[in-house]
Structure 1
Amino acid sequence: MMHIDWPWMLLLLPLPWLISRWVPAAQPIGDAVFLPFVSGLNADSLPATHSPSRIYKALLVLIWVLLVLAAIRPQWLGEPEPVPSTGRRLLLAVDVSGSMGTQDMAGDASRLQVVQKVAGDFIQHRRGDQVGLILFGTRPYLQAPLTSDLHTVTEFLDETMIGIAGTQTAIGDAIGFAIKRLRDDTHKNQHKGDTVLILLTDGSNDAGIMPPIEAAKMAAAEKLRIYTIGVGSVAQPGFFGTGGNSDLDEDTLKQIAQITGGEYFRAADASSLQQVYERIDQLEPSAARQQWYRPRAEWFPWPLGLALFLSVPAVLWSRRWH
């Protein structure tokens, strides 16, 4: 859209007319030489006096209008773009193993579907932070790097599928992978903000190379706080034993959170998961509001350049007239 930075400069537009209207013409000053024989000369032999033509006046008016248009600084504003801010770096590590497809949440929704909805809303509220997404199963991999483009991270989370990273659960490798990504990002961007990992799983560590507790100790050395979330319906006694999410290793998740200075949360349904993310939002508030800017393209060189170009024939015309 068009934007005028200095609109008050338009007040200068009638300035030449006001000067010609109210300021008297310059009068000759100094002594005059009296020539008595001039009265006897033929009028045709005297130098002719000419007033400026209409074309010359129109040219001067056009030059002045162009100068005023340049003075108001016309600009073209582009679409708003987010400005990367120096808030927290927040990584979401989401378990996508086979058990995350279990439909034991409210409304027969799978665990992953609930995580996608609630975690997506949480990401959208982290304006000012850099958010990344790690998916892990048998092995971890980076789905979205750390970025301030929260909308894209949310889309990647929504597109996640069960089993895309394997059917088992490698919690320790997921933490180690997060440490590596944050370390690389620190060396690359020299980021000095807080770093947080939210690890969400519904099972126990049954794959990978690195033990979860050893990975937690490495995270603590890197000053990485880890908030662990256990997902799935709460185990209930039944006729044939226990039901619900009996595979969840809560003791390990609690130790990981304790070692790194985070907290462990239990989410048995969508409502409790929503409360977990609200609690994390309180513990780790967004460090800064997201800032936006609109690219500006200056247009004043065009009328200014045209005015300078037209001033050349105006000067030549003025000399010829004089």
Structure 2
Amino acid sequence: MFEFGWPWIFLLLPLPWLLRAVLPAADSGEAALKVSFLPDLESLVSRRARRQLPTWRQQAPLVLLWLLLVVAAARPQWVGEPLPLPASGRDLLVAVDVSGSMDYADMRWQGEEVSRLTLVKHLIGDFIQGRHGDRLGLILFGSQAYLQAPLTFDRQTVRTWLDEALIGIAGKNTAIGDAIGLAVKRLRQRPAESRVLVLVTDGANNGGEIDPLTAARLAAEAGVRIYTIGIGADPAQGGVLGMFGLTPGLDLDEPTLRAIAEHTGGEYFRARDAEELQAIEASLDRLEPVAQQPTQARPEHALYSWPLAAALLLSVLLAARTLWPQRPVWLTRRPFWSRRAP
């Protein structure tokens, strides 16, 4: 149906007439010259002014122009029928480690060696893109934890923020406890059955202010399920440095990550390569959705451009009439193709 988004704008319709009645006249009312026949001049001017008062036909275009502008400002729109939005009821936060060790290139993607963060961007990005009906959010953590994207149905925006994540943007250390605490803070106001955190890291907690197990107990009390993913190749698979046991960042604290998952009713996964991370993605996709009240939305099609375009055209015509009160000479001439040869 047709409606106005801001109908109160129509209260401004009498504004020009109110301003004309309230504001003082342009002249001060005092005569610039004092002459003996001033009363005769005043009477003559008043008679001419009365004869030159604008008629209704002259005022109509200006009134119509003001009406079109007010109508456009009132946001005319066509509102469609309510449409259901697919929503599973799950609120899912993804916390990704962006500490310095995530830059180590011990993973392979499509035949090329890539860093751990690059692989996470590819596969966790696909996981985010496939979460139809879920509210998704993104946390990036290093020495500190930051909410990069709040919970939203806009999966493409969340994936874009993940793709633009940089190594060291949150510091060089790993604050797992702070990331869990931030997730609990953001999820506690959501339905308890739908709070999920997927935490991806390649190291142990060596930064932040909250102990990971303490944060896990808080998450369990808030009903947040945490699925932890430890990423990084084994020393034997970590390239030349890995052969000597020098794989950077592979101080992965698996017992702590496993305890976090067990405390919150989640699960711990180990991702040593792309295939294992893809399998983890498939496992996470099997999470059961939680039913909520159906969400509906009514599509809105803005129509303000039509009265605005009409007001612009009318203003151009009024300006042309003011600049050229009579028809230009070139319009009165006969076209050359209609002239007869002498």
Both proteins in one fold, TM over 0.5: yes
Looking at structure 1, the residues matched to 274 and 282 of structure 2 have their Cα atoms a distance apart, in angstroms, of 12
Partner of 2:218: 218
Give CA deviations for 1:22-69 in whole Å, capped at 9, x if unaligned.
xxxxxxxxxxxxxxxxxxxxxxxxxxxxxxxxxxxxxxxxxxxxxxxx
Q: What is the CA-CA distance between 1:235 and the residue it aligns to?
A: 2.7
Asked if 1 retains the 8 angstrom alpha-carbon contact of 2:235 and 2:243, the reply is no
User: Which has the bigger relative contact order, CA under 8 A and spacing at least 6?
Assistant: 1
Q: What is the CA-CA distance between 1:209 and the residue it aligns to?
A: 1.2
RMSD: 2.9
Looking at structure 1, the residues matched to 290 and 167 of structure 2 have their Cα atoms a distance apart, in angstroms, of 30
Segment of structure 1 superposing worse, 147-156 or 241-250? 241-250
Q: Specify the code of the residue in structure 1 equivalent to 2:221.
A: A
Q: Specify the code of the residue in structure 2 equivalent to 1:223.
A: G
- Other structure's SS at 1:93 match: strand
Number of aligned residues: 218
Looking at structure 1, the residues matched to 227 and 281 of structure 2 have their Cα atoms a distance apart, in angstroms, of 10
Give CA deviations for 1:55-97 in whole Å, capped at 9, x if unaligned.
xxxxxxxxxxxxxxxxxxxx9688x999473610000000000
Greater Rg over alpha carbons, structure: 1
Equivalent residue in structure 2 for 1:180, among 170, 178, 185? 185
Looking at structure 2, the residues matched to 292 and 233 of structure 1 have their Cα atoms a distance apart, in angstroms, of 45
1:73-88 paired onto structure 2 within 5 Å: 83=85, 85=87, 87-88=89-90
Looking at structure 2, the residues matched to 111 and 166 of structure 1 have their Cα atoms a distance apart, in angstroms, of 16
In the alignment, structure 1 residue 255 sits paired with structure 2 residue 259: yes
5+ residue gaps, structure 1: 1-74, 300-322
Q: Specify the code of the residue in structure 1 equivalent to 2:93.
A: L
Give CA deviations for 1:73-122 in whole Å, capped at 9, x if unaligned.
xx9688x9994736100000000000000001111111001101101111
Asked if 2 retains the 8 angstrom alpha-carbon contact of 1:129 and 1:286, the reply is no
Q: What is the CA-CA distance between 1:269 and the residue it aligns to?
A: 1.4
Asked if 2 retains the 8 angstrom alpha-carbon contact of 1:83 and 1:292, the reply is yes
Looking at structure 1, the residues matched to 250 and 295 of structure 2 have their Cα atoms a distance apart, in angstroms, of 45
Q: Specify the code of the residue in structure 1 equivalent to 2:227.
A: Y
Partner of 1:149: 154
Looking at structure 2, the residues matched to 298 and 163 of structure 1 have their Cα atoms a distance apart, in angstroms, of 44
Partner of 1:102: 104
Looking at structure 2, the residues matched to 82 and 143 of structure 1 have their Cα atoms a distance apart, in angstroms, of 28
- Other structure's SS at 1:216 match: helix
1:101-250 paired onto structure 2 within 5 Å: 101-106=103-108, 107-183=112-188, 185-186=189-190, 191=191, 193-236=193-236, 240-241=244-245, 243=247, 246-250=250-254
% of aligned pairs identical? Answer: 55
TM-score, length basis structure 1: 0.61
Asked if 2 retains the 8 angstrom alpha-carbon contact of 1:232 and 1:268, the reply is yes
5+ residue gaps, structure 2: 1-76, 304-342
Q: What is the CA-CA distance between 1:275 and the residue it aligns to?
A: 0.8
Asked if 2 retains the 8 angstrom alpha-carbon contact of 1:96 and 1:164, the reply is yes
Q: What is the CA-CA distance between 1:285 and the residue it aligns to?
A: 4.7
In the alignment, structure 1 residue 278 sits paired with structure 2 residue 282: yes
Asked if 1 retains the 8 angstrom alpha-carbon contact of 2:228 and 2:268, the reply is yes
